[in-house]
Amino acid sequence: GSVAAQHPGAVVVFGDDGEKFGTWPDTKQHVYGNGWLRRFFDALCANSEWIATTTLASAVAGSAPTGKIYLPEGSYREMTEWALPTPVQNEYDDVVHAMEHDERWERVKRFIRGGYWRNFKVKYPESNEMYARMMMVSRRLEAVEESGSTGELIDSARQELYRAQCNCSYWHGAFGGIYLPHLRNAVYNHLIAADNLIDQAIDKTGAWVEATSGDFNFDARQEVRLANPKLLALLAPSAGGQMYELDVRSICHNLLATLTRRAEAYHGKVRSGPSASGDHVASIHDRVVFKQEGLDQRLQYDQHPRNSLIDHFYAANVELAQVARGEAEELGDFVGRAYEAKIRKNPDRIQ
């Protein structure tokens, strides 16, 4: 009622994704079992004398504009928090919890924001690698279209590219996202499929091999791309010569669609144990539920990205389990350091 009193004729928009209506944890009981949805519609009907339900299209067509406003870039508030580096996110959470019971908090909190969404590509280098690979395919598709290539294969390649742009795989919040291997694999599956279709569209057949260099992951350094009809590899000389992508083109699969084990802000809650249950549906910020015992003992972190061709030198008595846990001491000081690289091309080989 306060909105109607202060802004006569105002339009209030309500929207939510379908997962909040039954697939989100506990929402089936909350929405249907406990009757939230029934109460919501009953309230609309009971107040129909002053609340007119409508659609977005009808509201736009039938309502005069009241002014002009620019929406900020980014997403909802929690998303900006998740984009923060983990230590900063922990500090942010501490500040919020320290202030939320202050009487001034309701006035202040709308001025508080987290980070910038695109920094997910910094927080998770694997997200940046997927994004850069997507841009590589996108630019290649644009180039062949500008050269005059058209037809069903080009259309199919574009569809595969669009599928690879599904945002769910490129970020991580309270759960899921880039941590889910089937999402990462799906992105690369569609990108490699798009590349294959472009090759077919331009009649790139027979035996061939390519070796090129360029800034393929947007780090202002040169990477190396090696490709033939069967494989595509991306290597980073500036990061110790490691290989961060290896595509098996026949099955559209990147063997290096891995994820580095790293600290997350919610790991503190994992170590503290599951949160107490109540009658309300917990926020994904505060909800901690374990699917297995001893999950806190499984928190292990990698010292280096989970890529290939990284040069490790360990003491002779180091055990495999220590390496797997990321606890083995490196004897060399060159892991991840810049290597010099040259591409040599001869008529019968590329080095």
- How do the pLDDT tens digits run along the chain, 351 residues long? 678 888 888 899 998 888 889 888 889 999 999 999 999 999 999 999 999 999 999 999 998 888 899 987 777 888 899 999 999 999 999 999 999 999 999 999 888 888 999 999 999 999 999 999 999 999 999 999 999 999 999 999 999 999 999 999 999 987 789 999 999 999 999 999 999 999 999 999 899 999 999 999 999 999 999 999 999 999 999 999 999 999 999 999 999 999 999 999 999 888 887 655 555 555 655 666 666 778 888 888 998 999 999 999 999 999 999 998 888 999 988 888 999 999 988 877 887
DSSP string, 263-293: --TTHHHHHH-PPPP-SS---TTT----SST
Are 50 and 113 within one domain? no
Q: How far apart are CA 164 and CA 232, in angstroms?
A: 18
Cα Rg for the chain, rounded, in angstroms? 26
> For the chain, what is the total number of helices (H) and then of strands (E)?
13, 7
Q: Is there a single domain that holds both residue 103 and residue 133?
A: no
Same domain, 128 and 252: yes
Asked whether residue 151 falls in the same domain as residue 233, the answer is yes
Q: How close are the terminal C-alpha atoms of the chain, in Å?
A: 73
Residues 218 and 346 in one domain: yes
CA atoms of 232 and 242, how far apart (whole Å):
14
Same domain, 197 and 345: yes
> Do 231 and 153 share a structural domain?
yes
Please, which contacts does 247-252 make with residues 24 or more away whose CB atoms are closer than 8 Å?
247/188, 247/192, 249/192, 249/195, 249/196, 252/188, 252/189, 252/190, 252/192, 252/193, 252/196
Strands (E), 197-268: 210-214, 223-227, 231-236, 242-248, 253-254
Asked if 50 and 182 sit in the same domain, the reply is no
Total domains, the chain: 3
Is residue 98 domain-shared with residue 245, that is, in the same domain? no
Are both 240 and 167 inside the same structural domain? yes
In a domain, 218, yes or no: yes
Q: Residue 96 to residues 93, 146, 169, 265, 269: CA-CA distances in angstroms?
A: 5, 51, 28, 14, 16
346 with 213, same domain: the answer is: yes
Q: Are residues 180 and 142 in the same domain?
A: yes
Q: Is residue 287 part of a domain?
A: no
Range(s) of the domain holding residue 191: 124-260+339-350
